[in-house]
């Protein structure tokens, strides 16, 4: 009976550790009026910290605090801006966000009887806030992150990850840092909507995280069983 109880808890919780924390680094790219289709054009550095709560083998909730540099220019564009105007921009982007992750495989380096894998692709979706200071024109607004990634448990408590995501912004002013490039704010004068004439930015990151917070089964000896 005691073993059955612990086995049932293992199936419910199915993680040795509840939490992960670590750092990430990579590259970021802007998508908007001067880059409509290329998600990794004009790469700039990005980095941050990440915290993850592992609900079970399949589902995780992640929070991140990140920084990225983005830039863009009209130079070399095939489409011509009105009055043949030329403009460029560069700015820092700060983000606080949360994402829901779904692992394709049950993720762990233990519990082989549950068909766990130490490697798993995953999908993510979430909600965040973006702030980008500028020269008299600060951008602030919500973002909607969507992406894919892979995670690999290198050894007990140590995880490696790679993730590609795009952030959909609910505004068209990310590329407007001052009066000199205000032409980038809807240059063709076309009315917009939630999904049209809005800016995006993409982020490709590599992460290293450390597991902590043991999940204990308390129904055995005083030392408990770890699940």
- How would residue 46 be classed by pLDDT, with cut points 50, 70 and 90? very high
Q: Tokens 């490696």 appear where?
A: 160
pLDDT digits over 142-159, tens only? 999 999 999 999 988 999
pLDDT digits over 164-196, tens only? 999 999 877 787 665 555 545 555 555 555 555
Question: 110 pLDDT exceeds 60?
Answer: yes
Percent residues over pLDDT 90 in the chain: 51
Question: 51 pLDDT exceeds 90?
Answer: yes
Dist. CA 150–CA 110, nearest whole Å: 18
Beta strands 44-54; 17-31: pairing state: antiparallel
Residues in the chain, overall count = 227
CB 201 within 8 A of CB 187: no
| Average pLDDT, integer, range 18-30 | 96
* Distance set, CA 139 to CA 136, 146, 197, 217 (Å): 10, 21, 15, 48
- How would residue 27 be classed by pLDDT, with cut points 50, 70 and 90? very high
Q: Tokens 């939490």 appear where?
A: 19
Residue 85 neighbours by CB distance under 10 Å: 13
| Average pLDDT, integer, range 77-96 | 71
Tokens of 188: 């063709």
CB 6 within 8 A of CB 219: yes
């Amino acid at each position: 009976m005691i073993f059955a109880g612990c086995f049932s808890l293992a199936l419910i919780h199915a993680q040795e550790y509840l939490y992960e924390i670590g750092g990430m680094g990579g590259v970021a790219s802007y998508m908007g009026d001067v880059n409509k289709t290329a998600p990794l054009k004009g790469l700039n550095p990005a980095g941050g910290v990440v915290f993850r709560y592992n609900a079970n083998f399949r589902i995780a909730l992640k929070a991140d605090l990140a920084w990225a540099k983005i830039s863009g220019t009209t130079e070399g564009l095939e489409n011509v801006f009105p009055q043949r105007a030329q403009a460029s921009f560069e700015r820092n982007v700060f983000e606080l966000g949360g994402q829901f992750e779904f692992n394709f495989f049950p993720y762990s380096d233990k519990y082989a009887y549950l068909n766990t894998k130490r490697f798993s692709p995953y999908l993510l979706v979430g909600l965040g806030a973006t702030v980008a200071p500028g020269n008299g024109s600060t951008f602030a607004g919500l973002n909607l992150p969507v992406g894919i990634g892979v995670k690999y448990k290198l050894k007990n408590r140590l995880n490696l990850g790679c993730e590609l995501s795009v952030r959909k912004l609910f505004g068209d002013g990310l590329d407007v840092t001052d009066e000199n490039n205000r032409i980038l704010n809807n240059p063709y004068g076309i009315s917009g909507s939630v999904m049209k004439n809005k800016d995006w930015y993409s982020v490709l990151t590599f992460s290293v995280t450390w597991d902590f917070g043991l999940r204990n089964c308390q129904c055995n000896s005083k030392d408990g069983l770890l699940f």
